[in-house]
Every structure is written in C-alpha cells, then in structure tokens.
Structure 1
Amino acid sequence: MTESYSVIVIDDDQEMRNSLTHLLGRVGWTVTGFADAEVALRRIETLQPDVVLSDVRMPGLSGLDLLARLSGPDDPPLILISAHGDIPMAVDAIQKGAYSFLEKPFEPRRLLTVLRHAAEAHRLAGQARRMRDELVNLSGLDRVLLGQDPQIVSLRDRIVDLGATDGTVLISGATGTGKELVARALHRLGPRRDGPFVSLNCATLDPARFEEQVFGRAGVTLGHLRRADGGTLFLDEIAACPLPAQAQLLRAIETGEVLPLGADEELRTDVRIVAATNEDLAAQVEAESFRPDLLYRLNTFQLSLPALRDRGGDVVLLFEHFLRAMAETYEVATPDVTPEDIAALASHAWPGNIRELRHVAERRVLAARRGAGTVADALRVDDGGEEVSGNLRGAVARFEATLIAQAVRTHQGRMDAVAEALGIGRRTLNEKIVKLGLDKDALLD
C-alpha cells in the first residue's frame, strides 16, 4: 500500500494552483492550496504538512521570504518553483536551505519524485528526533550514555538506529557497563514498546531447569519466551546458556516457534531477542561450548559498551551527575568536586564501571552529610583500604592529557574549537600541549 503524504501548495496563479492540486490529489496526496504565503505560513503548524511547494515570485511574502521563515528543525522542507530561469537564484535558494528548485514547465513525474523524497526525508528526520528525545528521557539510561566521548556519541546514535528495527541484537561489555539499561532502551524505542520486556539472567538459572524456565512445560510453566510474546526477551549472560538449550533457542529465533517440555505441538511466539555477554563468544565457539550458528543469529546487530576507564573525561562528568542525583535523594547539598577528587577519579581503574562509580558517588554524599569525606575516602572502601595509586600531580596531568586528546579528536584538530570546548584560552591550551608532550598530528592519526 502506497503511503499517503500531505502538501501545502502556494501559488498566486489560481490555474497553476488548481492544476497542481489535481495532479497531486490524483496520486493520493492530501493537498491544501493557498494564494498567499503569509496565510499559508500561519496554517503550517495546524496542518503539519510533510512538504511545502511554493512559487518564488508572488505579491507580499515571496517564496524566498518563506524559505527564511521555515528554517527550524521541525519545519517541513520547501520546494520552490519558478517560471523564470534564474540559475543564481536557484543556487542561492538551495544554499539557504530549500530542498529543491524546479523551473516551470516541469515534468509531472519529476515533481512527484522530488516531493516524495522530500516528504520521506522529513518524516524520517522527525522520527529520529522523537526517538532521540525519548532516549534522553529514558529512566536510568543517563548512567550509561551521559558524556561526550566519541564512543558514547556513536553509541547513542546506534541505539536510536537499532531501536527502530526488530532485529536480534547482541550487547557486549564488561560487568557494570549498563547492558540491561541499553536493552530496555532498545525495547522502549522500538515497535514493541507496548509489549512486555522480560529479563532473564542465564547465569542464575539452574542448568537442570533452564529449558523449562525458557521454553516452558506443558500445563505447568509458561516459559520466558512465551511470557515475552509481543515484546522483547533480554537474555543476559547468554554465554551461560547450556548447549542442549542453544539448539532450541536457535530454532525459536529462526521459526518463531517454541516446543514446551512435555508438549506434542510447537506454539507460535512473536518475540524480539536481545542478548548480552561479558565474555568472548567467538572464543567459546572455538572451545565448542557455544554454537556458531546461534552466535551468527544473535549477532545480527551488535553494540559494544566501552569500559568506564576508556571514556576519558566522561568519568568526572558522570560522577558529578551521580553526586547531584544522590544529593537530591538524601536531601543534602551537593558536595563540591575538588582538584584532589578529580585526581582520584582519574587515577582509578574502575573495574566495576558505571555501577562502581555510582556507588562511590553515593558514599561521597553520605560522608558529606557528616561534614567529612573525599572521593579518595570513598574509593578506599572499594579498594579494601588501599591508597589511591599515583601522586596528585601525575594523576592531574594524565587526566588533562586525556581530556585534551579527546577534544582534539572530537573537533578534528580545530584548536580554537578545542580551547572553547575545554573552557580555556588558546594560549593556555598550547602551553598545556607542550608541557604534556602531546603531538596533535599523532592524535589525529
């Protein structure tokens, strides 16, 4: 079935307006015509068209004036038409943001193609913005995706892209990096958002009862696959799935059918599978403890979550975020983050990743209620009382070098932009680069 689009047609020539309305209406478009661009502009918010088609030369507000008024990210694309073969005008219009410029008379097929492409692009852009807005608002996901490290920026975009699909996704990452939060985001952003999200940690199940828990038992247990019908089943620690169950899981993914224990007939189930692991599944395939065909199926799409220690300056940004959240929870003032705190954060290895950082922030806030404590104190609890490694000066230098290197790569070597992003002057930036022994060209390789 052909998708229906809507268009506003603006032309002071009634015959041309009627002709365009008839042409577009005949192929299923919803068309609203206006002789006056100012009147049309006032109706755009109400009509919410997919695209606007306007003549250039009209009394009052011209097509080029209209282009200047339709410059927001949510505004529909504008296609300009003109009976005057003015190439400089066409070039100027395109440079200022017009989707296309057509000269009268034009081929109807050419017009319909350009209009359809513009409408499709507008709808896709709108869907992406809505999904990104929802991604920002997802409860708990700020623990994973807050930050400006290039890996995290790319990850956010990938989650939005994969959220729109219904394919199987494999999420890899160390313990504490937020794999289940990402799985929930994929569910919330996708076409199954109104269905159930069922989470199962394969490592916590008794191997003897694994098949019953996942596939069910006739007349006794429904099974997680059928509980997730119409939604998403999240299989955490998928490497712990017993070999005998892997064949059944593969069949369920491929056919959408599941055979409960003790049942004579397979049952239909409509489920999206999202799996997660902190192990090397390829190595497990080599060791013959994981089926290669199941890995290929699970790995249709892949998301890799970086360890916290690899995220540079995001550590401090995330820590400050958690401090504010914990201070609000415990109803106390947010503690200041001192240079000594930054040094402690920068020098720690963060084996527990985001989860560990959040716990450290919570301990720091609880200590602040007593008017005492530092980040180093909070870290000693995790480290069994050991001192934070490295001296203060060295830790600060390492942290500064990481921040500068990250900013240089992000801004592709544009040093004015790097200095602005870091909140320091260009001269100060140059001095730090020399002092820290950084090579800008090497950072961009």
Structure 2
Amino acid sequence: MTAYRILIIDDDRLMRNSLVDLIEAAGWTAKALARATEAHLWIDQFNPDVILSDVRMPDMTGLDLLKTLPVTQPVVLISAHGDIPMAVEAMSAGAYSFVEKPYDPKRLLLILSHAAEQNQMRARNMRLRERLHQVSGLDRVLLGQTNDMHRLREAITMVGESDASVLLHGETGTGKDLVARALHDISARCDGPYVKVSAAQISAEHLAHIAQNANGGTLFLDEICACPLGVQPMLLGLIETGEVLSPGQGGVQTVDLRIISSTNEDAEQAAREGRLRRDLLYRLDGFALHLPPLRNRLDDVALLMQRFLQEFSALYEIDPPDVADADLSALLAHDWPGNVRELRNVAERRVMMARHGTGSMQDAISGTGLDPAARPGLREAVAAFERQVIGRAIQTHQGRMDDAAESLGIGRRTLNEKIVKLGLDKDSLL
C-alpha cells in the first residue's frame, strides 16, 4: 500500500486531531497546521501529495489559499458550512474535491487517495520528461522532425517507466544501443546497472554472472537472434521467474532486472527457421520499437549533419565547414546503408578534411578526400592535440610554467618532458 503524505489545515483543534488520526490509521503520513498562512512554508518542507484544508479559517480561508497555490497541487476542501455555491466556487478555483462535515471517513480517504495517486503520476511524468531530455547521447538518435522520429520519441516516453521487456528492431547503425540506454535512464531502474552484452557471446556458464551484474537494473541483449540455442531455455526461465542457474555458486540465483533486446533482422523469420525459440520471442517482445533507417528520413539528414559537424569541429577546434548546395545534394543522394552511424563518420571525415583545407562532402562520403599519407594515425592525432592544449595553456598563463602545469592537471616535470617530446618552442608561443 502506498504511504501518501497529507498536509492538514484546520483551525479546529479537535477536528485537526481527528483528521490526523484518520490519516495515520490508513498508514499515511500527516502534518497538521492551524493556520493557512503557514501552508507555503510546510509545502516546501513536507512535500505533501495532497492538501486537505478547512474553508472557513481566520487570516486566510481555504479558498484564498487555493488561489495562491500552483495549479498542479491537489487540494481537497472540507467545511461544515458548505453549500452548493461554495462547492461550485471551490471547484472553479481548482479544488480537486469538496467534502462537507461531518465527513464519511471511507469516502474522504478514497478522495484523498485518488488525488494523491494523480499527483504522484504527474510528478513521475515530469521526472520522465526531464530524464528524457537529459539522457546522454539520445539526441544522436532521436534528433529529427520526421513523423517516424516523433512516433519513436513518444513510444520511448510511454514505455520508459514500464518494467516490461522491449525488443528493438532496426538496421545496423540506427542507434539501438543508445535507445536501450535511454529506456534505462528514464526508467525507475536508472540508478541501477546497465549491462550490454552481445547475445551471440552468451554461454550457459556465464549467463548467471551477467544477470547478477545487471541485478536491480537493465540487461541489454544485442542481436538476440544470434543467441545460442542452448542458452535460450535458461534465458526464458530468467525472464519468467527471475531465476538463473549458477553452477559455480551452488544452484539457483534470484535477480531483479529488466531485459531489453535488439535485432537487425526479422525475428519472426529467425523463429520460423528455428534459430530463435518462439516462446522466448514472445517474452522478449513485450513492446516492439522500430528504429527507422536513415534513407526513410532524408528530411533529417541535413539537421543531423549540422549537429555532428558542430560536435566534431568543437573537438578538433576549427570552425564548422559550410554545407553548400552541392554538399546537401550529395547527402540526399546517398543511400546511407550504415544509417546514423555512417552519417556521423562522414561528418568526422569532413571536419578532418576541413582541418587540412581540402575535400568536399562527396569526398567525405566516398572516403577519398584525405590523402592516406596526410591522414594522421592515432599517435599523431594525440600528439597534435597535446601540442594544441599545452601551447594554449602556456599562452594563457603567459609562460608561467607552474601555473600552466597546474591548469593541465600535471606536474611541472611532466610538462617539461612533454614540451621536449612534442618539440614545442616555448618562446615562439609567447
């Protein structure tokens, strides 16, 4: 039973105590005030699910209080002097309900529980929307204005707080991993672990260990159609009972987790071919989310490219290259078999070309815009980045090496060694 928090405001001490006894007998928490003028302070501190207030009180009436509260705060008004006009005025002012004294205890508790439940649902929905906007990396997948993307965002919002299994359908590169992570981050399990594994690599011996690592959180099984047949019965049992056999720990282990899975192929076809147990598919497919391929949302290509160009330009510390009409034509003419992941790689290549003052969007798509001899490897790229960062720190601190080293989070000796290793000329920087 949910323990609600009820703030009671009534200037009649006996009535106030009676209401507190009723609320606490229901297993809820009550805070009682004699004056409505104290309400705002205690609303912030007590954070009630419902405010139960008398109407006729000195200093501030219940109706006056109602008009000063946020419209989302449920208020139930109670009065021994109530009549139909007063009830109409209270409801028009935004009261959740109006109860006359003497009250029926069961009816009052029912009204309060409904109001509290509605308030908690509203708060959950607000938290969900806030988490949805804060999810790391989600905009890389869900940025876009096409109808498919609107529907996908709505579906994620709807499914997010559910504990049901979700099966993500989508081609390689459409962002199934990021959507799975988003579903975890906007769920009630967001503080628990998020464990991603390739279903093809799960063994019967390791399933229990994987499940225990995900206990209290989310287990994401990537490419579920490739799951070994010998593991599938154990996986089915894990979903149905929350139990998994752990030979190394002496028997059955119980876990509490949510399973999200993905596939880049037709799961029904895999079931027909006997590669995926149909009963397992039914349990995995509690909700099905379909991630659209990029070729079906070409209206979003320019928007995504601009976002990725800005991101990589900031990383490589250059101005974002312009997207000319010819560049846009090249983007729209490409089929994008690698989907958003391919688009992101193209954006990085285009920025790397811009750093060298060469190339076009078509070159970036085809991968021919950078001369192999000029393309930096990882070691060269890291060295170039260190030169830029260290040089900027020396300039910022006007050659004061102790200050520069501190700003970089390294010791003075380490800074000197890097200057020599990277061939930096300190004097030329100042």
1:71 matches 2:56: no
Match for 1:285: what amino acid? A
Deviations 1:283-339 (CA, angstroms, capped at 9, x unpaired): 222233322111111112222222233346443333332232222212223345555
SS in 1 for 2:195: strand
Q: How does 1:176-255 map to 2 (within 5 A)?
A: 176-203=173-200, 205=201, 213-216=202-205, 224-255=210-241
Structure-2 separation of matches of 1:25 and 1:368: 69
Match for 2:253: what amino acid? R
Of stretches 291-300 and 122-131 in structure 1, the one that deviates more from structure 2 is 122-131
Query: 2:303 is matched with which residue?
Result: 317
For residues 56 and 158 of structure 1, do their structure 2 counterparts lie closer, same or farther at Cα, with a shift above 3 Å needed?
Answer: farther
Query: Of 81, 84, 87, which residue of structure 1 is paired with 2:82?
Result: 84
Deviations 1:34-82 (CA, angstroms, capped at 9, x unpaired): 333232123211111111122344444443443333226xx53222334
1:36 matches 2:35: yes
For residues 174 and 94 of structure 1, do their structure 2 counterparts lie closer, same or farther at Cα, with a shift above 3 Å needed?
Answer: farther
Structure-1 separation of matches of 2:82 and 2:294: 59
Q: How does 1:295-310 map to 2 (within 5 A)?
A: 295-310=281-296
- Contact conserved, 1:175 with 1:278, CA < 8 A, in 2? yes
TM-score, reference length from structure 2:
0.73
Query: 1:430 is matched with which residue?
Result: none
Match for 1:80: what amino acid? L
- Contact conserved, 1:322 with 1:358, CA < 8 A, in 2? yes
1:350 matches 2:336: yes
Query: 1:281 is matched with which residue?
Result: 267
For residues 198 and 39 of structure 1, do their structure 2 counterparts lie closer, same or farther at Cα, with a shift above 3 Å needed?
Answer: closer
Shift of 1:365: 2.6
- Structure 2 gaps, min length 5: 370-430
- Contact conserved, 1:215 with 1:260, CA < 8 A, in 2? no
1:152 matches 2:149: yes
Query: 2:7 is matched with which residue?
Result: 8
Structure-1 separation of matches of 2:223 and 2:329: 34
Match for 1:334: what amino acid? P
- Contact conserved, 2:203 with 2:228, CA < 8 A, in 1? no
Query: 1:390 is matched with which residue?
Result: none
Shift of 1:129: 2.0
Of stretches 112-121 and 185-194 in structure 1, the one that deviates more from structure 2 is 185-194
Match for 2:32: what amino acid? G
Of stretches 340-349 and 294-303 in structure 1, the one that deviates more from structure 2 is 340-349
- Contact conserved, 1:215 with 1:226, CA < 8 A, in 2? no
Query: 1:46 is matched with which residue?
Result: 45
SS in 2 for 1:53: strand
Query: 2:353 is matched with which residue?
Result: 367
Query: 1:19 is matched with which residue?
Result: 18
For residues 57 and 230 of structure 1, do their structure 2 counterparts lie closer, same or farther at Cα, with a shift above 3 Å needed?
Answer: closer
Instruction: Give me the CA root mean square deviation.
Output: 3.3
For residues 49 and 256 of structure 1, do their structure 2 counterparts lie closer, same or farther at Cα, with a shift above 3 Å needed?
Answer: closer
SS in 2 for 1:167: coil
Query: 2:312 is matched with which residue?
Result: 326
Larger Rg: 2
Q: How does 1:379-394 map to 2 (within 5 A)?
A: 379-381=365-367
SS in 2 for 1:216: helix
Structure-1 separation of matches of 2:158 and 2:319: 39
Query: Of 158, 162, 167, which residue of structure 1 is paired with 2:164?
Result: 167
Structure-2 separation of matches of 1:374 and 1:90: 70
- Contact conserved, 1:215 with 1:224, CA < 8 A, in 2? no
Query: 2:253 is matched with which residue?
Result: 268
Shift of 1:269: 4.5
Deviations 1:332-373 (CA, angstroms, capped at 9, x unpaired): 233455555555544543322221222232233333334555
TM-score, reference length from structure 1:
0.71
Query: 1:102 is matched with which residue?
Result: 99
Instruction: Count residues with an aligned counterpart.
Output: 367
- Contact conserved, 2:226 with 2:275, CA < 8 A, in 1? no
Shift of 1:278: 1.1
- Contact conserved, 1:11 with 1:35, CA < 8 A, in 2? yes
For residues 98 and 350 of structure 1, do their structure 2 counterparts lie closer, same or farther at Cα, with a shift above 3 Å needed?
Answer: farther
Deviations 1:168-187 (CA, angstroms, capped at 9, x unpaired): 22111111111112222333
For residues 3 and 259 of structure 1, do their structure 2 counterparts lie closer, same or farther at Cα, with a shift above 3 Å needed?
Answer: closer
Deviations 1:360-413 (CA, angstroms, capped at 9, x unpaired): 322333333345555444334399xxxxxxxxxxxxxxxxxxxxxxxxxxxxxx
Match for 2:131: what amino acid? E
Structure-1 separation of matches of 2:66 and 2:324: 50
- Contact conserved, 1:197 with 1:232, CA < 8 A, in 2? yes
Of stretches 331-340 and 296-305 in structure 1, the one that deviates more from structure 2 is 331-340
- Contact conserved, 1:147 with 1:314, CA < 8 A, in 2? yes
Query: 2:415 is matched with which residue?
Result: none
SS in 2 for 1:243: coil
Deviations 1:240-260 (CA, angstroms, capped at 9, x unpaired): 123343333323433444446
Structure-2 separation of matches of 1:368 and 1:92: 67
Of stretches 25-34 and 55-64 in structure 1, the one that deviates more from structure 2 is 55-64
Runs of 4+ in 1 over 6 A off after TM superposition: none
